[in-house]
Structure 1
Amino acid sequence: MHRLTIALLALVTVSACAAPVETISKRPAIIPKAIQPQPTSFAPPPAEQASIDDFARSFLNSIQTQSIRERREFCGFFFRDSAGQLQATAPRRGTFASCNMPVPQRRDNIIASYHTHGAYGPQYDNEVPSTTDLLSDFQLGVDGYVSTPGGRVWRVSNANRDASQVCGLGCVIRDPGFVPRNENQVRQRYTVATLTQRSGV
């Protein structure tokens, strides 16, 4: 699993959000001071939310193959242009488990962050977002979208303070090398508390 960390004055960093599965229970949960929850915002009306979800799913699907092939994360932002149309910033390439990008100085038109979890890695719990994925978006005050090697898409809701599956396994292109593991333990919704519980730290 990979995480999205937003440093508001410098960079957005997407990096490994959990320790390797074999040692995950031995690693303490550390939440950077720069990533503390901000007051909640209002969720978009259902029709608008569905439109944003569809845009996010389509866009993430369009970059999923390359992200998997290159075995690296891609990251960026969704925003509305001057005509009110949904757009995406050009994906920035990261490493297998990290991705750095500048935070735009103008943030009032940003709808959500996005990042891929890239290729399957058996040592990572990368079918779910991380606590830092959630807290980073909360800090910036926007939603977030995450695609996984198994082809899931998650939406981090700043208003609801949770992450929920927009769609499940295979709803976007999945890594041919993906190996399902404990799929019955992947919930439809997570909070920071339940993700921390899942990680066993």
Structure 2
Amino acid sequence: MRWIVFPFFIMPSLTYAQEAAELTLVKQVFAELQPRSIRWNREYCGYIGYDADGTLSASRPTPGKRDACLPDDPENLGTIVASYHTHGAFSPDHANEVPSGEDMEGDEGEGIDGWVATPGGRLWYIDTEDMVTTQICGIGCLPMDEDFQPGDMGHIAQSYSYDALVKKLEDGGV
């Protein structure tokens, strides 16, 4: 949450209700997509935004590849606020328990924030203004791959700056 400071009081720039509604919607989207993403070992992606009536909504998910996804232009959203995507099934050959540098770069390039679900059931939020990704909830918070192996990527921090994330992934995820 960002804060606006005035001489005599401080107020948040987004209301708690807006943030809570977005988180609730994202968890609902991932609750539906995660099992499919894991079963077919492919990413699914889309957008979160507001429809013509001003209702917070998700676009229809686009199926991607094993390690990439390019969402279709949303037909139902007038204003896009964030992207969302899954990371497919667990694999010891992929560092898929954290967002990638490319995930962060893609959202930054579109001028939006992002949400990422991992095979271990983690939920990450990408803040492109500060280029920081934060783990909103940990292992098992979302549906997870039964083959997931905790600790496969070593220690997973609560948050990473873009540079720290890229370094972790260059070092093999540990």
TM alignment of 1:33-52, pairs within 5 A: 44-52=14-22
Identity of aligned residues (%): 35
1:123-159 C-alpha deviation (Å, 9 max, x unpaired): 0110000111112111111110000000001011123
TM alignment of 1:1-201, pairs within 5 A: 44-103=14-73, 109-182=79-152, 185-200=155-170
Extract unaligned runs of 5+ from structure 1: 1-41
Q: Which has the higher contact order (CA 8 A, sep 6+)?
A: 1
1:137-186 C-alpha deviation (Å, 9 max, x unpaired): 11111110000000001011123321101111100100011111256610
- TM-score of the two chains, using structure 1 as the length reference: 0.72
Report the Cα distance in structure 1 between the residues aligned to 2:31 and 2:116, rounded to whole angstroms.
11
- TM-score of the two chains, using structure 2 as the length reference: 0.83
Extract unaligned runs of 5+ from structure 2: 1-11
Tell me the CA shift for residue 108 of structure 1: 5.9
Report the Cα distance in structure 1 between the residues aligned to 2:105 and 2:163, rounded to whole angstroms.
11
Task: Give 1 or 2 for the bigger CA radius of gyration.
Answer: 2
Task: Decide whether aligned partners of structure 1 residues 125 and 116 sit closer, same or farther in structure 2, where only a CA change above 3 A counts.
Answer: same
Q: CA RMSD of the aligned region, Å?
A: 2.3
The aligned length equals: 160
Counterpart code for 2:25: F
Report the Cα distance in structure 2 between the residues aligned to 1:154 and 1:43, rounded to whole angstroms.
21
Task: Decide whether aligned partners of structure 1 residues 64 and 190 sit closer, same or farther in structure 2, where only a CA change above 3 A counts.
Answer: same
